[in-house]
Amino acid sequence: MRLDQCRSTTGGLPPDCPVAVPRRPRPRQYFVGTMRVPYIAPWTGENVPPRTAITTRYGRSDMGIGYADEYGIADRRRGALWIRVSVNPGAGGPLLDRVHALRQRQAMTHMLCQYCGRPADDRSDGRYVFLLPAVTGRLITDGERTATPPVCGGCVPEVVRGRAPLRRGCVAVLVEDVTVWGVAGMVYAPETLKPVPSEDGGERFTLVAYDDPRLPWTLACREVVSLHGCTAMDLEDLTEQTAA
Ligand SMILES: [Zn+2]
């Protein structure tokens, strides 16, 4: 089930409530030579951060950070203030090793393929494919958290053949269910309104759950989901299975 059918956007509806969701228009595809530019990659023409000022905000229940000119749901989702980024895909050149915050969130919310931006629910068994960093000696466990959107079956062969950029060594994971978890972002100190260093081992961002008291002080940069019913697979085996 896609997140946009229940959990992400409809708030009070029960988790299994079917909701009619119009299919999204097919996003424009960009290539560098024969290599597909990932849907979630930013472009140099989008690399101009809007001028914004972080300030203290008094919310309905908590204090936290906000923009001086904050604008409703465009800036805030589920209590988290989101980083502002320009949106102009195709402008300039692609930055293949980076992630566009809003397209990443869009992909996670609607379970879109991180490469082509189309729905990633194209497997006959209803499972999603995620590519997670392969860490020697660490097993993929139920509840695994990730900020990397899924990959559709059509794009898996491109990844294996090297026609789609793979960010790091990965293991493919088939996932039965995906739930919203929180965000990855920069946590601000209430006293100074300056970002504090990440607690996650040198990572750029800190993972903050939606029920974490630090959420009102976090500038969200990635949507994070948790994965359930996980089965790890070799990428080559997955490609053969997809072809079959
Ligand atoms: Zn795809």
- d(Cα 15, Cα 179) in Å, to the nearest integer? 10
Q: Indicate whether 108 pLDDT > 50.
A: yes
Chain centroid to CA 137: 25
Q: How far is the CA of 14 from the centre of ligand 1 (A)?
A: 29
Q: How far is the CA of 62 from the centre of ligand 1 (A)?
A: 40
Q: How far is the CA of 117 from the centre of ligand 1 (A)?
A: 6
Look at residue 167 in the predicted model and tell me its pLDDT. Answer: 58
Q: How far is the CA of 193 from the centre of ligand 1 (A)?
A: 39
Q: How far is the CA of 84 from the centre of ligand 1 (A)?
A: 26
- d(Cα 223, Cα 184) in Å, to the nearest integer? 6
Q: How far is the CA of 116 from the centre of ligand 1 (A)?
A: 4
Environment of ion ligand 1 (residues, CB < 5 A): 113, 115-116, 152, 155
Specify whether the backbone of 33 is left (phi greater than 0), alpha (psi in -120 to 50) or beta: left
End-to-end CA distance of the chain: 23
134-147: average pLDDT: 83
Look at residue 10 in the predicted model and tell me its pLDDT. Answer: 35
144-165: average pLDDT: 87
Q: How far is the CA of 57 from the centre of ligand 1 (A)?
A: 39
Query: Per-residue pLDDT tens for 1-49?
Result: 445 444 433 334 444 445 555 666 789 999 988 889 999 999 999 977 7
Q: How far is the CA of 122 from the centre of ligand 1 (A)?
A: 9
Q: How far is the CA of 61 from the centre of ligand 1 (A)?
A: 41
Q: How far is the CA of 156 from the centre of ligand 1 (A)?
A: 7
pLDDT band, residue 56 (cuts 50/70/90): confident
Q: Indicate whether 200 pLDDT > 60.
A: yes
Q: How far is the CA of 160 from the centre of ligand 1 (A)?
A: 13
Specify whether the backbone of 156 is left (phi greater than 0), alpha (psi in -120 to 50) or beta: alpha
Q: Indicate whether 81 pLDDT > 50.
A: yes
Chain centroid to CA 208: 14
pLDDT band, residue 243 (cuts 50/70/90): low
